[in-house]
Amino acid sequence: MEIANPFSPIEPLNIGIAKKAGIEILLKREDLSHPFISGNKWRKLKYYLIDARLQQKSILATFGGAYSNHLLATACAAAKYGFKSIGFVRGNEVSNHMLQLCKLFGMDLFFLSRTDYANHKMEIATKQLMQVFNEVYFINEGGSGLLGEKGVAEIINEVKSQADVLFCAIGTGSTFAGLLQGVNNHGLPMQLHGIPVLKGMEEAFQKQFNSYGLNYCLHHQYHFGGYAKTNDALKAFVQEMAENTGILFDYVYEAKMMYGLLDLIKQGYFKQGTRIMALHNGGTLGMLSML
C-alpha cells in the first residue's frame, strides 16, 4: 500500500471569549487524521516510512515513554504498511492501555531503565537487534529530525492564507521547527506562536528556533508546573471545553495550548480581527489513564 498523505479538516471553534474580542479561531484537526497514528506523529512519520520503504527495510525500531503517542503511531503505521516494529520504552517494565495497543499492532517492546534510556539507548537497541540489523530502520524518539520536520512543514500548504497566526503546543520542538520551515518556504507573513509544555525551556528553544528567523513567539507561562503536570484549573478547563465543544484536549499538550491561547485572548494580546489557526495535534488516547 502506498504511504498515505495525512488529511485533517479545518473547523471554526466558537468560544465566547474569542467572539467578544473579535478574534476568529480555526482549529486544524490533526487529531482527526487517524485514530492511532495521531496528529503531528503521523506528519512526522510520513517521510521516515517512505525512506524505510526506499531502503527496503522490514523492521521499524523506535523509542519513547510508556505513554508515548509516537510509539503507538509507529506501531500502527508499521502494521498498516507491512513493517515489523520494535519499541524501546523508557523505564521499568509496566503495562498500560497505550503499550497494550502497541502490542495489539504487533510491536515488540523492550524496557530500558531511565539511566540506560537517557545515556545508551541506541547502543542497547543496536546490540539487541544485531541479528537483524540490516533489516532495521531506526526512527528517532518522537519522530524528530529532518524528515520529520519535512512532513510537518506540509501542514502549512493546507493552512496558507487562512490565518494570521498559527498556534501549537511544544514538546521537543520538532513540530514547531517544521512549521517554521513551512512558513519560511512559502514566504508567508504568518506568525507562529507556541506553548511549551515543559518548564525552563527558554534558552534551549531560543537556540533551537532562532536559526529559522524571528517570526515566532513562545509563551512560557502555561506549562502548569512541567511535563504531564496538571492542576484543578487545567482539569476544569478540559471538562468545560469537552462539554462546550465536543472536543477533547489532552492534559499533557493540547489543553495547555488551548488554555494559553484563550488566556492571551482574554488579556487582549491579539488585536481585533486576528485570524488564529490552532493545531490540535491529537494525543487524546493518552489521557484515558487519567480519567
Binding positions for ligand PLP, rule: CB under 6 A = 39-41, 69, 142, 169-176, 250, 253-254, 281-283
Residue 21 or residue 250: which is nearer to ligand PLP going by CB? 250
Residue 57 or residue 70: which is nearer to ligand PLP going by CB? 70
Residue 15 or residue 142: which is nearer to ligand PLP going by CB? 142
* Residue 246 exposure: Cα atoms within 13 Å on the Cβ side: 5
Residues in a beta bridge with 191:
165
Q: Which residue's CB comes closest to ligand PLP?
A: 283
CB of 48 to ligand PLP, least distance (A): 14
Q: Look-up: residue for cell 498498516?
A: 80
CB of 113 to ligand PLP, least distance (A): 23
C-alpha cell of residue 95 = 503495562
CB of 260 to ligand PLP, least distance (A): 13
CB of 254 to ligand PLP, least distance (A): 6
Residue 129 or residue 178: which is nearer to ligand PLP going by CB? 178
CB of 151 to ligand PLP, least distance (A): 11
Residue 129 or residue 194: which is nearer to ligand PLP going by CB? 194
Residue 71 or residue 190: which is nearer to ligand PLP going by CB? 71
Read out DSSP for 194-232? EEESSSS-HHHHHHHHGGG-S-EEE-TT-STTSTT---H
Q: Is 275 exposed, middle or buried (0-12, 13-18, 19+ CB in 10 A)?
A: middle
Residue type, 112: L
CB of 205 to ligand PLP, least distance (A): 10
